[in-house]
């Protein structure tokens, strides 16, 4: 946890230095991949158990990880899409009751009113109905003659999802589980305090990157990533699911709020 705090603290401070904002993201991704191996450099057996080395910063490929990720996506994504459309139909109609606890908490922070302003801007492109008017692909997907989607998948997997999973699930969650072994079973998988704390740190890290209280909502998908990690025994399961979820969100946002 100390290493995680120092990492995100340094990342936040670098954001105050002019002219290096584009480089600090690259530095963060490199730290996600290589810092765990360096911290555990004298413990190769722990590296292997955490899947953060020792042979490569990229965890070993396992087809079981891909299989578990696919099944999870087929189960989770359809109801999520319906809930997404329902949520924004309510919110964009001015009904913020579903957000009352979040708004009350945000009003106690320096970001008071930020979520409401964000939603007002977002909802300008909403049709007002439940179903979106049509399927709109993000511009980044159709760039370079259609190769933009391939680029988005590659960047989303290796520069975002896999890097974050190596650090937060492979290293942080595993290390915390050594301190507080999970004792309760959740849908056939043992999870405990370590999954909760690592997911909270994951959410706080997103808040450091962009000061919007809504980004703390990443705590909930992080719990799903934790479950996938332990269900599959492979970091590829949460990484692939994480990538697919980000792509799905891009598609939903573009289609639901097309202008």
Its pTM stands at 0.93
Percent over 70 (pLDDT), the chain: 98
- pLDDT, tens digit, 9 for 90 and up, residues 34-91: 999 999 999 999 999 999 987 888 999 999 999 999 999 999 999 999 999 999 999 9
The band of 209, judged by pLDDT with boundaries at 50, 70 and 90, is: low
- pLDDT, tens digit, 9 for 90 and up, residues 116-153: 888 888 898 898 889 988 889 999 999 988 799 999 99
In this predicted model, which residue has the larger pLDDT, 136 or 1? 136
Measured CA to CA, the distance from residue 47 to residue 118 in angstroms comes to: 41
Identify which of 105-109, 127-131, 132-136, 190-194 has the greatest average pLDDT: 190-194
pLDDT at 211: 63
Q: Is the dihedral of CA 114, 118, 123, 124 positive or negative?
A: positive
The band of 102, judged by pLDDT with boundaries at 50, 70 and 90, is: confident
pLDDT at 205: 84
**Residue 208 reports pLDDT greater than 80:** no
pLDDT at 152: 95
pLDDT at 134: 84
Beta bridge partners of 189: 186
Percent over 90 (pLDDT), the chain: 63
Q: What letter does residue 190 receive in the DSSP assignment?
A: E
- Mean pLDDT computed over 171-199: 95
pLDDT at 210: 66
Comparing 11-25, 53-67, 103-117, 191-205, the range with the smallest average pLDDT is 11-25
Structure-token match 């555990």, residue found: 40
């Amino acid at each position: 946890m100390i290493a995680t705090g120092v990492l995100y603290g340094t990342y936040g401070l670098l954001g105050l230095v002019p002219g290096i904002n584009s480089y600090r993201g690259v530095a963060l991704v490199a730290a996600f991949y290589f810092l765990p191996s360096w911290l555990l450099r004298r413990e190769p057996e722990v590296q292997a158990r955490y899947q953060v080395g020792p042979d490569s910063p990229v965890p070993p490929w396992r087809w079981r990880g891909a299989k578990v990720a696919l099944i999870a996506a087929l189960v989770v994504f359809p109801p999520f899409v319906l809930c997404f459309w329902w949520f924004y139909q309510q919110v964009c109609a001015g009904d913020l009751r579903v957000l009352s606890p979040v708004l009350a908490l945000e009003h106690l922070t320096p970001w008071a009113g930020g979520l409401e302003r964000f939603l007002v801007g977002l909802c300008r492109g909403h049709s007002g109905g439940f179903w979106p008017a049509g399927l709109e692909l993000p511009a980044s997907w159709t760039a370079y003659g259609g190769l933009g989607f391939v680029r988005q998948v590659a960047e989303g997997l290796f520069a975002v999802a896999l890097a974050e999973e190596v650090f937060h699930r492979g290293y942080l969650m595993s290390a915390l589980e050594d301190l507080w072994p999970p004792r309760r079973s959740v849908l056939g998988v043992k999870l405990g305090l370590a999954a909760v704390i690592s997911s909270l740190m994951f959410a706080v890290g997103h808040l450091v990157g962009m000061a919007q209280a809504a980004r703390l909502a990443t705590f909930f998908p992080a719990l799903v990533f934790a479950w996938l990690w332990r269900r599959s025994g492979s970091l590829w399961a949460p990484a692939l699911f994480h990538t697919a979820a980000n792509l799905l969100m891009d598609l939903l946002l573009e289609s639901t709020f097309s202008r």
